[in-house]
Structure 1
Amino acid sequence: MTKKYIGMLTLALLLTVSGCAPSLGDETGVIQNTEEEEAKTVIIPSLQLDETYYRTLLPYEESASRGLVLSNLSTKYDMKEVENGLLRISQNEFSPDKYLFQEGQYLDTSTLKDWLARSNQTKTGLNPSDEGLTGEAKAKNAPVYISHIVEQNYLEKTDNAVSLSGISIGLALNSTYYYTKEQYGATFEEKLTQAQIEENGKRIAEEVVTRLRKMDGLADVPIVVGLFKQNSRNAVVPGTYFTYSKAPAGKNVSDWKAIDEEYVLFPTTHSKEKYRELDKTFRDFKHDIEMYFSNYTSIIGTGYFKDNQLQKWTITIPIQFYGTAEVIGFTQHLAGLVKEYFNSSMNIEVQVNSLDGAEALLVKKPGDEEAYVHIYSQ
């Protein structure tokens, strides 16, 4: 029998956050050490939802460059993954059991805009000068390598205070440079090689760490830097981080560690060639859905792989339903198909959406025989 729990979990969480639920532990009020004249009083939440989640300080402070990611990255998929991927990297160096999370407070919007410019546009521009170059010549000789920088801060609690103990930096690098040969003309693209991306990414990483070391309070803070390869503008899956390095206190990045991550769209020629069995499973699952209900636009799956092993499969089903009973019936059928096609070791999430928004969500974590189900209209 499928279980319906997600709506209740969300409600319990909201009550806990708002202070209306029974206390799950004592929240701790502490002093945050800053470079400002007056230290700030902050609260450390007692509840950690999962061992992979960082606790964050309250009141929550937004990044000093909040919103800049929207204008700098090409797709909504990269906007999300450039931050989530950096969190995964940070867990390798700053354990969620020991460290607290805070959005970046050192790189503000003005600084980042100057750094992301070309060197002939600002004195601190990290991208190559395009002086005297136009169109294809610019694309061949001076493409824009870096489009965005993400900062995350990690703090530790000692006695009755918290202080900065680590910084993670994500450098979003272009895989394609887009250009026009004439004003208002057609857009062309120049693919950057992996060697170009990696060489320039590491060069920029060293310069960024050098600059951070000169900022107040950052000379001896460990700094993690990850290189993120963006996907193309028309991609429907995000890019990934492909390497990272940790600069110990007072030093720069040096030893780089490779990251083997990939997002794969199902069903495609690529998924069939590289992950044949998983591709067949998805196509069979898709076919069974079509047999039950053909009133849909498309069914797609996005698989997140690490070291060529599937970590999570997110399946999106857009539909056109006209009644609550129809949604319930379809979702019940889906729950059975999820159990039939995806073994208990898989991490599966199925999202059913209509033009009106989310209709149903099915989640099956590794070890679960059946999916947890939530129907939003209930």
Structure 2
Amino acid sequence: MKRHLRWIPAMVATALLAGCSLPSFNKNSEVTTTETTSKSSESTIIPSMQIDDQYYRTLLPYKESASRGLIVSNIYSRYDIQEAETGLMRLSLNQFPTDKYYFQEGQYLDAKTMKSWLSRSNVDKLGLNPSNKGMNPEESATKAPIYVAHVIEQNYLTKTGDKKVKLGGISIGLAMNSVYYYQKEAYGATYEEAIPQAQLLENGKKIAQKMVKRLRSMDGLGNVPITVGLYKQLSHKDIVPGTYFATATAGEGSSSLQKWETVDEEYVRFPTDSTDDKYSETNDNFNTFKDDIDTYFTNNTNVIGRGFFKDGKIQRLSIEIPVKFNGTGEMIGFVQYVSSAVSSQFKKDLQVEISITSSNKPEALVVKDSGEAEPYVHIYND
């Protein structure tokens, strides 16, 4: 069994870099100048290391978002917080490939602007959400729900060829509510109203178009491509994240979003009661794997799986196994058994990631990459 950490998730790597000063890197790292506005610039470092071609390199020193912290209060769950950001990066790959562009958190929409734009239009004249003036709570829920809960901004920079880096494009994610929550009276019961998909799409497109026109008027954003994605935030009760469902791009200098495209992505919880054929094989394999775990371990284990589907096909299966261990030997034996079960129960071309925890503390990580027969295992040390 191999005992080493195979990789570090991109968002974790990003977090580790946040707030650092300009460091001293190895000779393969490149020192450049970043054009921050039309009249100023600053020195930055482009790290030589890249995790793989699906992840962007970030410039150092790392710049935090101008609206840092708002996403935690505006989006329901940690699953949606992560997916709204990483999903937008996936969409951005089509417009801003990782071999030519570098990632930077959004620097143009600050917290004040964001709060203003997320307001209702009768509360703030710049509000992008519909007015509910004169409506009672129930009417607001059906006729004028809050559509956009949050806006994710990502900046993509590119080298100009003369040891300078400049903004090459911007991506915007509109995190939209699929459920509107309201109260009929102060401190009363909370009710919910589902927002139909067609209604989300129609209003999302309109709001996105307004945003692009506003962005074009900002200093530095007049000519760069702007990619927009519409993200569907699920109910706060869900333990799987939502996904982006539509995207469009305004080309260089254009204020119009052209050719909206459907994004076919979905997260599914396993085991699932769905009878849809596209889930059946994964569900059968997952249930067999879960039965193996239950047979091995007499303690009650709550095995939960989350499958990521793209264009109707599963791409990745993440599994969480919380177990109470009574000793290190017991834990190591269990990890070995899980590693063997992964190889025998899941097809070779499926990426499987298993997190084993005890008392809310990570104990081990088992990763089987797509195309690999054997998994990699990392056992955490206290």
Q: TM-score range by the shorter chain?
A: over 0.9
How big is each residue's C-alpha offset from its partner over 1:44-93, in whole Å with a ceiling of 9 and x where there is no partner? Answer: 11111111111110000000011100000111111110000000000011
TM-score, scaled relative to structure 2: 0.93
Is 2:233 the counterpart of 1:234? Answer: no
The structure 2 residue matched to 1:185, chosen from 178, 185, 188, is 188
Give the structure 1 partner of residue 172 of structure 2.
169
Q: 2:229, 2:183 → 1: CA distance?
A: 30
The change in CA–CA distance for 1:261 and 1:104 in structure 2 (over 3 A counts) is same
CA RMSD of aligned residues (A): 2.2
**Superposed structure 1 runs of 4+ greater than 3 Å apart:** 7-10, 17-23, 271-274
Unmatched 5+ stretches in structure 2: none
Contact 2:278 2:312 in 1 (8 A): no
Distance in 2, Cα, partners of 1:37 & 1:20? 25
Q: 1:57/1:22 Cα in 2 relative to 1: closer, same or farther (>3 Å)? A: closer
- Matched residue, 1:317: 321
Distance 1:191 1:96, change over 3 A: same
Shift of 1:272: 6.7
SS of corresponding position for 1:55: coil
Stretch of structure 1 that moved more, 289-298 or 114-123: 289-298
Given that 2:215 and 2:221 are in contact with CA atoms closer than 8 Å, whether structure 1 keeps it comes out as: yes
Which moves more between the two structures, 272-281 or 209-218? 272-281
1:87 maps to which of 86, 89, 92: 89
Quote the Cα distance in structure 1 between the aligned partners of 2:40 and 2:278. Answer: 56
Matched, 1:373 2:377: yes
One-letter amino acid of the structure 1 residue matched with residue 245 of structure 2: F
Write the distance in 1 (CA, Å) between the matches of 2:214 and 2:246. 21
Secondary structure of 2:201's aligned partner:
helix
Q: CA contact under 8 A between 2:278 and 2:313: conserved in structure 1?
A: no
1:3 aligns to what? 2
Task: Please tell me whether the aligned partners of residues 272 and 279 of structure 1 are also in contact (alpha carbons under 8 angstroms).
Answer: no
CA distance in 1, matches of 2:276, 2:340: 25
Query: Is 1:65–1:107's contact at 8 Å kept on the other side of the alignment?
Result: yes
Residue aligned with 2:76, SS: coil
1:48 is aligned to 50
Say whether 1:362 aligns with 2:366.
yes
Q: Distance in 1 between matches of 2:67 and 2:247?
A: 22
Instruction: Please list, as runs of the form range in 1=range in 2, the aligned pairs for 1:12-51 lying within 5 A after superposition.
Output: 23=26, 26-35=28-37, 37-51=39-53
AA paired with 2:357? N
Deviation of 1:276 (Å): 1.3
Counterpart CA distance in 2 for 1:308 and 1:356 is 33
Q: Is the 8 A contact 1:240 1:261 kept in 2?
A: yes
May I ask how many residue pairs the two structures share in their alignment?
372
- What's the CA shift for 1:264? 0.3
C-alpha separation in 1, matches of 2:297 and 2:343: 18
Helix, strand or coil at the partner of 1:275: helix
Give 1:140 shift.
Answer: 1.2
| 3-state secondary structure, aligned to 2:274 | helix
Unaligned runs of 5+ in 1: none
User: Who is 2:215 aligned against?
Assistant: 212
Contact 1:264 1:271 survives alignment (8 Å): no
Counterpart CA distance in 1 for 2:25 and 2:148 is 47
Q: Aligned to 1:260, which of 258, 264, 278?
A: 264
SS state of the match for residue 181, structure 2?
strand
| Deviation readout 1:77-112 (Å, 9 max, x if unpaired) | 111100000000000110000001100000000000
Show CA shifts across 1:26-58 (max 9, x none). 111111012174311111111111111111100
